[in-house]
């Protein structure tokens, strides 16, 4: 699959499976896939790498239709045949990740401004994770909030480049994120801490789709 074909799937609910929460990664990923998520990112910061690889390979094998990204670990992405990686501010540089991943896998990069977005795209990123849009529900982020206006500014300044809204997204605000122009909304706690993860994923996916501009639904 080419990077362009993969990018076509990067829309709507973007679920992050984080090993900092108690929910089992595969059950979380299954709830996301069945609930309408188009993308799953695996963020394994605490899990031993052998176990992380086993879990990633299981998710890849049993959820073949999902766009699967790995946070930070390019080696893990290659070993589990993921569709790409997401790189934070202090992770491997985009250019180095591209050398390892090749042209067809996706690289997403965290950005805080239009200037950072332009720089990461010039380095070879395929899409951007813009945030923090709202205060995080799961971790401390040492960066000022973008808010909806900051998110809208990035989306408008980089037309045609997929932007994923990051941080603090839940049932109450996911529609406003979609309306601001984001291609996708990254969600962690609103699903990983939900009493009914599948139901939460369905609600969030539906809310994003209903609020997205018409051109983004097609």
User: Can you list the domains of the chain with their CATH numbers?
Assistant: 3-213 (3.20.20.70)
pLDDT at 138: 67
**Does 54 have pLDDT greater than 50?**
yes
Distance CA 76, CA 161 (A): 26
Unique residue bearing structure tokens 């390019």:
74
> Which of 129, 196, 198 minimizes the C-alpha distance to 169?
129
- The answer to whether the beta carbons of residues 188 and 18 sit under 8 Å apart is yes
The share of the chain scoring above pLDDT 90, in percent, equals 92
**Does 201 have pLDDT greater than 90?**
yes
Mean pLDDT, the chain, rounded, equals: 95
Q: Mind listing the pLDDT tens digit for each residue in 81-138?
A: 999 999 998 899 999 999 999 999 999 999 999 999 999 999 999 999 999 999 986 6
CA angle 139, 144, 145 (to 5 degrees): 75
> Which of 102, 95, 104, 41 minimizes the C-alpha distance to 73?
41
DSSP 89: T
In angstroms, the first-to-last Cα distance of the chain is 20
pLDDT at 139: 66
pLDDT at 89: 86
pLDDT at 218: 45
**Does 217 have pLDDT greater than 90?**
no
6 membership: H or E segment, kind and range: helix 3-7
DSSP secondary structure string for all residues of 41-103: EEE-SSS-HHHHHHHHHHHHHH-TTSEEEEES-HHHHHHTT-SEEEE-TTSS-HHHHHHHH-S
State residue 210 phi and psi, 5-degree precision.
Answer: -70, -30
pLDDT at 213: 87
> Which of 45, 89, 43, 85 minimizes the C-alpha distance to 67?
85
The share of the chain scoring above pLDDT 70, in percent, equals 96
Structural tokens at position 98: 């591209």
Beta-bridge mates of residue 42: 17, 70
Distance CA 161, CA 20 (A): 30
Structural tokens at position 100: 């390892």
- The answer to whether the beta carbons of residues 85 and 109 sit under 8 Å apart is no
Unique residue bearing structure tokens 């799937």:
9
Distance CA 112, CA 150 (A): 9
Q: Mind listing the pLDDT tens digit for each residue in 158-188?
A: 998 999 999 999 999 999 999 999 999 999 9
Confidence of residue 140 (pLDDT cuts 50, 70, 90): low
């Amino acid at each position: 699959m080419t990077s362009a074909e993969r990018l076509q799937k990067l829309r709507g609910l973007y679920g992050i499976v984080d090993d900092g929460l108690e929910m089992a990664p595969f059950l979380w990923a299954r709830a996301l896939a069945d609930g309408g998520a188009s993308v799953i990112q695996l963020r394994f910061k605490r899990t031993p790498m052998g176990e992380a690889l086993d879990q990633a390979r299981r998710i890849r094998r049993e959820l073949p239709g999902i766009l699967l990204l790995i946070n930070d670990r390019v080696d893990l992405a290659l070993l589990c045949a993921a569709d790409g990686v997401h790189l934070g501010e202090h992770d491997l540089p985009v250019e180095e990740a591209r050398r390892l991943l090749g042209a067809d896998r996706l690289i997403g990069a965290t950005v805080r401004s239009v200037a950072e977005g332009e720089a990461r795209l010039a380095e070879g990123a395929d899409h951007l994770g813009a945030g923090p849009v709202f205060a995080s529900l799961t971790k401390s982020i040492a960066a000022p909030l973008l808010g909806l206006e900051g998110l809208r500014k990035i989306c408008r300044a980089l037309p045609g480049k997929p932007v994923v809204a990051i941080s603090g997204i839940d049932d109450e605000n996911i529609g406003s994120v979609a309306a601001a122009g984001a291609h996708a909304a990254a969600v962690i706690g609103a699903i990983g801490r939900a009493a009914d993860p599948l139901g939460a994923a369905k609600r969030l996916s539906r809310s994003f789709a209903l609020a997205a501009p018409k051109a983004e639904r097609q």
